[in-house]
Amino acid sequence: MPIPSVDLGDLVRTLLFLLFAGLTAIITAVIGPTYDNLLVPELQPSALFPPLLGSGSGGVNYLSTGARFSGYVLTNVVDPAVTLVALGVAVLYLSRSVVSRWADALDGLLPRLIIGVVGANFTVPIAGAIIGVAGGLYPIISGWDGGAWQHWVNLAGWGQVPFSWDNGALAFVLSLVEFAAVFVLVLAVGIRDAVLAVLLVLLPIFTLLWPLHPLSPLARRGWLLFGELAFLPCVLVVPLELAVGSPNPVMLVAYLAVAVASPFFLSLAGTSLVSFGFGGASGVVQSNAQRGLQVAPSAAASSFAPAANGIRTSSPAGGAFAGVTRVAGSAAAPAAAPLVVGELIGHGAWQLLRHVGPSHGKNGPSAQPPMLKGGAK
Partner 1 sequence: MSNFSASINRLVDLVALAGSGILSLVWARVALSWFSNDITKKIQAKDRARDALIGTLLFMAAVTGLLYGLAHWVLTGS
Under the binding rule (CB under 8 A), the answer on residue 113 touching partner 1 is yes
Torsion sign, CA atoms 337, 342, 348, 351: negative
Q: Please tell me the distance from the alpha carbon of residue 3 to that of residue 238, in angstroms, as a whole number.
A: 57
Under the binding rule (CB under 8 A), the answer on residue 97 touching partner 1 is yes
Who contacts 306 (Cβ-Cβ below 8 Å, separation ≥6)? Answer: none
With contacts defined by CB under 8 A, name the span among 115-123, 214-222, 230-238, 295-303 that binds partner 1.
Answer: 115-123
We find the least distance from the C-beta atom of residue 86 to partner 1, in angstroms, to be: 4
The angle formed by the CA atoms of residues 205, 207 and 210, to the nearest 5 degrees, is 115
Between 76 and 303, CB nearer to partner 1: 76
Under the binding rule (CB under 8 A), the answer on residue 288 touching partner 1 is no
With contacts defined by CB under 8 A, name the span among 27-35, 97-105, 191-199, 243-251 that binds partner 1.
Answer: 97-105
- Phi-psi domain of 375 (left: phi exceeds 0; alpha: psi -120 through 50; beta: other): left
Between 213 and 291, CB nearer to partner 1: 213
DSSP, collapsed to helix, strand or coil, labels residue 275 as: helix
With contacts defined by CB under 8 A, name the span among 15-23, 85-93, 233-241, 304-312 that binds partner 1.
Answer: 85-93
With contacts defined by CB under 8 A, name the span among 80-88, 144-152, 278-286, 362-370 that binds partner 1.
Answer: 80-88
Length of the chain: 377
Between 122 and 144, CB nearer to partner 1: 122
Start-to-end Cα distance in the chain: 112
Residue among 25, 38, 47, 82 that touches partner 1 (CB under 8 A): 82
Tell me which DSSP letter residue 212 carries: S
We find the least distance from the C-beta atom of residue 348 to partner 1, in angstroms, to be: 53
Q: Alpha helices of the chain — where are they, by DSSP H?
A: 8-34, 40-42, 45-48, 62-73, 79-98, 109-121, 123-142, 152-156, 161-166, 168-209, 216-242, 249-267, 282-312, 316-329, 333-356
We find the least distance from the C-beta atom of residue 123 to partner 1, in angstroms, to be: 11
With contacts defined by CB under 8 A, name the span among 88-96, 188-196, 292-300, 303-311 that binds partner 1.
Answer: 88-96
Question: Total binding residues for partner 1 by CB under 8 A?
Answer: 33
For residue 211, report the phi and psi dihedrals to the nearest 5 degrees: -60, -25
Site for partner 1 in 57-76 (CB under 8 A): 71, 74-76
Tell me which DSSP letter residue 5 carries: P
With contacts defined by CB under 8 A, name the span among 21-29, 110-118, 228-236, 294-302 that binds partner 1.
Answer: 110-118
Residue among 93, 136, 275, 345 that touches partner 1 (CB under 8 A): 93
We find the least distance from the C-beta atom of residue 222 to partner 1, in angstroms, to be: 19
With contacts defined by CB under 8 A, name the span among 45-53, 62-70, 79-87, 367-375 that binds partner 1.
Answer: 79-87
Under the binding rule (CB under 8 A), the answer on residue 376 touching partner 1 is no
Q: At what angle do helices 216-242 and 249-267 cross, to 10 degrees?
A: 160
CA 153 to each of CA 141, 156, 245, 256: distance values in angstroms, whole numbers, following the listed order: 21, 5, 9, 14
- Phi-psi domain of 108 (left: phi exceeds 0; alpha: psi -120 through 50; beta: other): left
**For residue 225, what is the enclosing H or E element?**
helix 216-242
* Cβ 47 vs Cβ 41: under 8 Å: yes
Between 63 and 120, CB nearer to partner 1: 120
Residue among 52, 117, 203, 328 that touches partner 1 (CB under 8 A): 117
Under the binding rule (CB under 8 A), the answer on residue 54 touching partner 1 is no
Residues that bind partner 1 (CB under 8 A): 71, 74-84, 86-98, 100, 103, 110, 113, 117-118, 120-121
